[in-house]
Amino acid sequence: MLSSTDDSALQQWLEPATDLVEAEISRLLASYVEGTRLWLLEDVKSWIKTDASRVLWLKGQAGVGKSVISALIVDTIRQENQIGGSFFCKSSNQSLKSSFNLVTTLAYSLKKWSPPFAQKLLQIKASGLVDITKASPSDLFLKLILEPLMELNNAYVHANYTPPTILLVIDALDECDDPASRRRILQILSRDFKKLPSFVKILVTSRPEDDIVAAFAESDMPMTELKPTDENNKKDAEIVAVASLIRMKAETDSIAAIATAMVEKSDGLFIWLVMALLAFENTSKTIQDVESLPKGLTRIYESTFDRIYGYRTNLILDNFLGLIAVAIEPMNANQFVQYLDVSDAIVRKCVARATSVLSFSNDDTFTFLHKSVSDFLTSSYAGHKFFVPKSLINNQITWK
């Protein structure tokens, strides 16, 4: 059993983002609808029990619900005492998009799983051979995770002991750091994953970004694609739609038909469903109202921002939304007052207008509810009137 003194020493040395990760898991689980994603959960649990590849890549496009699935998997496998650690990358949070924090957080989590692993970390710390402040994330992954696990495995083999399988979850790898740093992590996952002990499994989720696709294509690790049009995915989307319509007190006789129509328009994208349901709440909740909803993620965002802007230009709102898009971490209202040089009342009005696309934390900070919102606003390829050039916002704001 690790003493509180040793635990504090490891925490000060590694500076893990454990609390932020747990907060993100709680946030995602709060949006989970019972009865959904069970088919994929069973697939992952079956993979954990097999001798198949140590690493499984779950890929899917933006808005298909990968992070909620990851949170469900962590929560379920944790109850079975098989979670070694998890990290939920988030591009809007400096601490959660750091590949350095990804490694140190997983290492710190593993010490909870295994006292012998914790002792190996303490030995590494005492040796002074690993300078955490200077080592690259890939070197840290080797020194703090892979090599200690391999040493532990050798001891288990020598003792003729087979430990229970543990799972490490890395969610939204595409939101982790800059491509160069991410590439080094990818190289280890794709090149060295066979060196992992048989009792260690790693689940990685991400969008199919070019660098991730290229790295994993060079290995023979299994891949599961979460396709929006998959029948299981569409059934889950329908369950979510029905649950939301019941909460909205839609006409009972119409709920099934409305939910089916919504799912067809959503193309299986859960983020489309979220935005559409928010718009639907202020209608008569009829099948005709569903027919008036725009199809496609770009168009639903255009419709959403039309409502936010009240169908007229608003420079202050431009700057407010642009600041959220370029911010390196969630901010509170006081920070917006400072950076935008406006009153608190104006910031509050902006928040009230944009609530439908914001996610709020317990510490009174907020950011966009999904990375695709920021992508929509800052993508020069989208060709819509709400485009916000990141360089323009950065030039207008003095970061303090």
332-373 pLDDT, tens digit each: 999 999 999 999 999 999 999 999 999 998 889 999 999 999
249 contact partners, CB below 8 Å, separation of at least 6: none
Identify the pLDDT of residue 270: 96
Mean pLDDT of the region 16-44: 97
Distance, in Å, from the CA atom of 306 to the CA atom of 276, rounded to the nearest integer, reads: 14
- Of residues 396 and 151, more confidence is placed in 151
Question: Are residues 253 and 285 in contact, defined by beta-carbon separation less than 8 angstroms?
Answer: no
State the amino acid at position 10 in one-letter form: L
Question: Are residues 65 and 240 in contact, defined by beta-carbon separation less than 8 angstroms?
Answer: no
The lowest-confidence range among 148-157, 217-226, 285-294, 333-342 is 217-226
> What percentage of residues in the chain have a pLDDT greater than 90?
72
Identify the pLDDT of residue 313: 80
Residue 206 CB neighbours (<10 A): 24
Distance, in Å, from the CA atom of 87 to the CA atom of 101, rounded to the nearest integer, reads: 9
Identify the pLDDT of residue 397: 62
Mean pLDDT of the region 297-316: 90
Identify the pLDDT of residue 284: 86
Confidence of residue 161 (pLDDT cuts 50, 70, 90): very high
Looking at every residue in the chain, the average pLDDT score rounds to 91
Q: pLDDT (tens digit, 9 = 90+) per residue, 180-191?
A: 778 878 888 888
pTM of the model: 0.92
The lowest-confidence range among 81-85, 86-90, 191-195 is 191-195
Q: Which of 370, 377, 315 is nearest to 346 (CA)?
A: 315
Mean pLDDT of the region 155-176: 94
Mean pLDDT of the region 134-153: 92
Structure tokens at 73: 């998997």
Identify the pLDDT of residue 393: 65
Identify the pLDDT of residue 314: 86
Identify the pLDDT of residue 74: 98
Q: pLDDT (tens digit, 9 = 90+) per residue, 373-384?
A: 999 999 876 678
> What percentage of residues in the chain have a pLDDT greater than 70?
97
Confidence of residue 112 (pLDDT cuts 50, 70, 90): confident
Sign of CA dihedral 171, 172, 177, 181: positive
The lowest-confidence range among 71-75, 163-167, 312-316, 348-352 is 312-316
Distances (CA, A) of 372 to 191, 294, 314, 345, 376: 30, 17, 22, 28, 6
Mean pLDDT of the region 278-297: 89
Confidence of residue 222 (pLDDT cuts 50, 70, 90): confident
Q: pLDDT (tens digit, 9 = 90+) per residue, 228-266?
A: 999 999 999 999 999 999 999 888 899 999 999 999 999
